[in-house]
């Protein structure tokens, strides 16, 4: 039975866009009309999905892979919207794809990671969006470069698009084995801080690359105050034409969403607020002490730089640095500090120390 519309189509899209958490789901690729419509119906039946998605054009890493059904799949999305009453969203990578998607009443467009990485492609999409009132989601680029992501946002905004959201789908990282795309949460958080108030949703499907860790990634995103999730769902995941390992059935999606512990950024509970303020004040004091200690450390580094200059000794002392790191790893483990954090922290301190010594030695 077709959904009965009690609001205008624009009102429905706006309501979905404003909902938190926003849940978007559907198959990685539209394959057949039956597959699209059955997936849509089963997703709608969960009562937990706000928008339907499907890949119509699929930019693949290597030729020979399934690259999408193409424009003929857009009427299927149109019918899915009519069947369920849910807005639909697809990925676009060219101006022509933007035109085709809008012609078939696609409600929300998204720019994929392989497009975000290319400013020329983003500009082509942005040019096609001029004069159009449609929300646009922008995925992070494949490579960990926030300037490319920011540039894509700016290009789309300059085209006159008022409603822009971000999708964090992880980054390609050499040597990464746990995830299909390393989440690099710190980059997503940085982007979120650069764009306060702009919606950011997480794509655990592309970060995970496999369904067994979807929940863990989704929960981490919600814990970090992401605004929603975009998760791939298929009526027969194991036989999907693309990305089979990361897709789940609509019913499994409902179970996954029901298993997430949904968090809130704020609360009105006075006891909680009071306790949190006291703990934050403690952190502020400790941060102040850390800054004082780091300042003292750099003063000692300045003195070391003077001795090195006067005795013609190089700044970098590899054996000494390796010894400092090993000592820090042992102490850090006892204090519950991870080796990766210790490495990043000490690298930053080391570089600041080198800069201080370099100024003295070359003054």
Residue pLDDT, tens place only, 197-223: 999 999 999 999 999 999 999 999 999
- Residue 36's nearest CA partner among 233, 211, 251, 230 is 233
Q: Which two tokens stand for residue 173?
A: 């990282």
3-state DSSP assignment of residue 289: helix
Task: Summarize the confidence of residues 104-123 as an average pLDDT.
Answer: 97
Does pLDDT of 1 surpass 70?
no
SS3 content of the chain, % helix, strand, coil (to 5): 55, 10, 35
Closest CA to 25 of 36, 14, 15: 36
Residue 18 scores a pLDDT above 90? yes
- Model confidence pLDDT, tens digit, residues 226-269: 999 999 999 999 999 999 999 999 999 999 999 999 977 666 77
Which regions of the chain carry the CATH code 1.20.59.10? 270-361
Burial of 278 (0-12, 13-18, 19+ CB in 10 A): exposed
Computed over every residue of the chain, the mean pLDDT equals 92
With contact defined as beta carbons under 8 Å apart, do 167 and 113 qualify? Answer: no
Q: What is the pLDDT of residue 300?
A: 93
Q: In this model, does residue 316 exceed pLDDT 90?
A: no
Residue 5 pLDDT greater than 50, yes or no? no
CATH class of the structural domain 270-361: mainly alpha
Residue 77 near residue 30 (C-beta atoms within 8 A):
yes
Peptide bond between residue 21 and the one before it cis (omega within 30 degrees of 0): yes
Which pLDDT score is estimated for 273?
78
Report the C-alpha gap between 64 and 241 in whole angstroms. 12
Could you count the other beta carbons within 10 Å of the beta carbon of residue 64? Answer: 6
pLDDT of residue 6: 53
pLDDT, tens digit, 9 for 90 and up, residues 49-100: 999 999 999 876 677 778 899 999 999 999 999 999 999 999 999 999 999 9
Q: Residue 9: its pLDDT value, please?
A: 86
The CATH homologous superfamily of the domain defined by 9-259: Aldolase class I (3.20.20.70)
For residue 189, is pLDDT > 70? Answer: yes
199 CA to centre of own chain: 11
Calculated CA dihedral for residues 122, 123, 127, 129, nearest 10 degrees: 20
Which residues in the chain are classed under CATH 3.20.20.70? 9-259
Q: Are 92 and 68 a contacting pair, CB within 8 Å?
A: no
Q: What is the mean pLDDT of residues 19-28?
A: 97
pLDDT at 7: 76
| CB of 92 closer than 8 Å to CB of 111 | yes
């Amino acid at each position: 039975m077709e959904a009965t519309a009690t609001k205008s189509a624009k009102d429905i899209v706006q309501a979905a866009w404003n909902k938190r958490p926003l849940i978007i789901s559907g198959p990685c690729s539209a394959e057949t009309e039956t597959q699209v419509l059955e997936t849509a119906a089963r997703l709608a039946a969960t009562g937990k999905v706000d928008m339907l998605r499907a890949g119509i054009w699929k930019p693949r890493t290597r030729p020979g892979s399934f690259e999408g059904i193409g424009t003929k799949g857009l009427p299927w999305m149109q019918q899915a919207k009519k069947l369920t009453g849910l807005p639909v969203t697809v990925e676009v990578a060219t101006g022509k794809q933007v035109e085709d998607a809008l012609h078939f009443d696609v409600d929300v467009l998204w720019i994929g990671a392989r497009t975000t990485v290319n400013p020329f492609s983003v500009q082509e999409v942005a040019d096609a969006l001029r004069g159009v009132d449609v929300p646009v989601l922008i995925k992070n680029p494949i490579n960990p470069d926030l300037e490319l992501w920011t540039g894509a946002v700016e290009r789309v905004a300059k085209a006159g698009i008022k409603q822009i959201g971000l999708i964090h789908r992880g980054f390609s990282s050499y040597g990464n084995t746990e995830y299909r795309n390393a989440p690099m949460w710190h980059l997503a958080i940085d982007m979120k801080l650069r764009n306060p108030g702009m919606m950011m949703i997480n794509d655990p499907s592309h970060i995970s690359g496999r369904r067994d860790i979807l929940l863990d990634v989704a929960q981490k995103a919600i814990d970090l105050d992401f605004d929603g999730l975009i998760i791939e769902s298929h009526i027969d995941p194991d036989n999907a034409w693309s990305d089979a390992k990361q897709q789940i059935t609509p019913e499994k999606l409902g179970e996954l969403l029901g298993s997430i512990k949904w968090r809130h950024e704020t609360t009105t509970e006075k006891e909680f607020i009071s306790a949190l303020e006291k703990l934050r004040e403690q952190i502020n004091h400790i941060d102040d002490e850390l800054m004082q200690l780091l300042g003292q450390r750099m003063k000692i580094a300045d003195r070391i730089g003077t001795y090195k200059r006067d005795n013609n000794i190089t700044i970098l002392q590899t054996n000494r640095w390796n010894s400092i790191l090993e000592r820090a790893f042992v102490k850090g483990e006892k204090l519950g500090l991870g080796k990766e954090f210790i490495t990043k922290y000490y690298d930053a301190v080391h570089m600041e120390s080198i800069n201080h010594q370099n100024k003295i030695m070359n003054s």
